[in-house]
Amino acid sequence: MSDPGSTLFAPISPSRSGMLAVDDLHTIYWEEVGNPNGIPVIFLHGGPGAGLSPQHRRFFDPAQYRVILFDQRGAGKSVPLGECRNNTTQLLIEDIERLRVLFDIGQWLVFGGSWGSTLALAYGQAHPERCLGFVLRGIFLCTQTEIDWFLDGARWFHPEVHAEFIAPIPEAERDDLLQAYVKRIMSDDPAVHMPAVRAWSRFEGRRVFLLPQPEDPPSDALDLGVGRLESHYMANLGFFSDDQLVRNVDRIAHLPAVIVQGRYDVICPPVSAWRLHQAWPGSVLNMIPDAGHGAMEKGISRALVAATEQFKRNRGFAA
Active site residue 17: no
Cα–Cα distance measured from residue 182 to residue 186, given in angstroms and rounded to the nearest whole number: 6
List the catalytic residue out of 45, 223, 265, 272: 265
Active site residue 114: yes
List the catalytic residue out of 26, 56, 162, 293: 293
Active site residue 265: yes
Cα–Cα distance measured from residue 235 to residue 247, given in angstroms and rounded to the nearest whole number: 21
Q: Which residues contact 191 (CB under 8 A, 6 or more apart)?
A: none
Q: What is the biggest distance separating any 2 CA atoms in the chain, rounded to whole angstroms?
A: 58
Q: 263 near 287, Cβ under 8 Å?
A: yes
Q: 225 near 51, Cβ under 8 Å?
A: yes
Of the chain, the end-to-end C-alpha distance in Å amounts to 25
Distance of CA 131 to CAs 46, 230, 255, Å? Answer: 19, 26, 8
List the catalytic residue out of 78, 114, 201, 301: 114
Angle between helices 190-205 and 220-235 (to 10 degrees): 80
Cα–Cα distance measured from residue 296 to residue 210, given in angstroms and rounded to the nearest whole number: 11
CB atoms within 10 A of CB 159: 10
109: β partners = 41, 133
Question: Which residues are the active-site residues?
Answer: 114, 265, 293
